[in-house]
Each structure stands twice: as C-alpha cells, then as structure tokens.
C-alpha cells in the first residue's frame, strides 16, 4: 500500500525558506506572488493489510519521527 504524507508549518510559524523563495521569485519579476509556504512530501510504501492499519501506522510515524507536531501539521493520503 502506498501513501503520501504532506508536512507543512502551522499557521503563525515563521517560514524563512518560504520567504527566501518569495524573494527569489520577486527578483525574477514574478511580482504577483503574495506569499510562499514551503513544506515537505514523504512517499511511503507499506506492508499493511488494511487502510485503517496503514493510517494508524503512518500517524504513529509522524508523531514519533516524520513531523515536529509542535510547529508542523501533517496530512496523510493513501495512493
């Protein structure tokens, strides 16, 4: 079973990488960009028998390792 985890900084958390990307786009004359939030995507392939078991396992991985839940949110999508 394949899954995709998308991890983004929570609203209100400063995103210096996103700001750097925005400034670079502005320097390339893309002046219509108001803001940029940068995140990460992790694709996983699991040996799980059910979707529920896969989601439970991925949530545990996110809470323990993949995401810093103090400042990041994550979203799980089964593919």
- pTM (2 d.p.): 0.88
Per-residue pLDDT reduced to its tens digit, 19-68: 999 999 999 999 999 999 999 999 999 999 899 999 999 999 999 999 99
Domain boundaries, the chain: 2-78
Mean pLDDT to the nearest integer, 67-74: 98
Backbone angles phi, psi at 68, to 5 degrees: -95, 95
CATH of domain 2-78: 3.30.1280.10
What would the DSSP string read from start to end of 28-63? TT-TT------EEEEEEE---SSHHHHHHHHHHHII
């Amino acid at each position: 079973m394949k899954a995709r985890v998308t991890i983004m900084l929570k609203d209100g958390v400063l995103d210096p990488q996103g700001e750097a990307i925005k400034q670079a786009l502005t320097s390339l004359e893309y002046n219509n960009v108001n803001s940029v939030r940068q995140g990460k995507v992790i694709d996983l392939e699991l040996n799980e028998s059910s979707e529920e078991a896969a989601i439970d396992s991925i949530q545990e991985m996110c809470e323990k390792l993949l995401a810093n839940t103090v400042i990041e949110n994550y979203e799980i999508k089964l593919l």
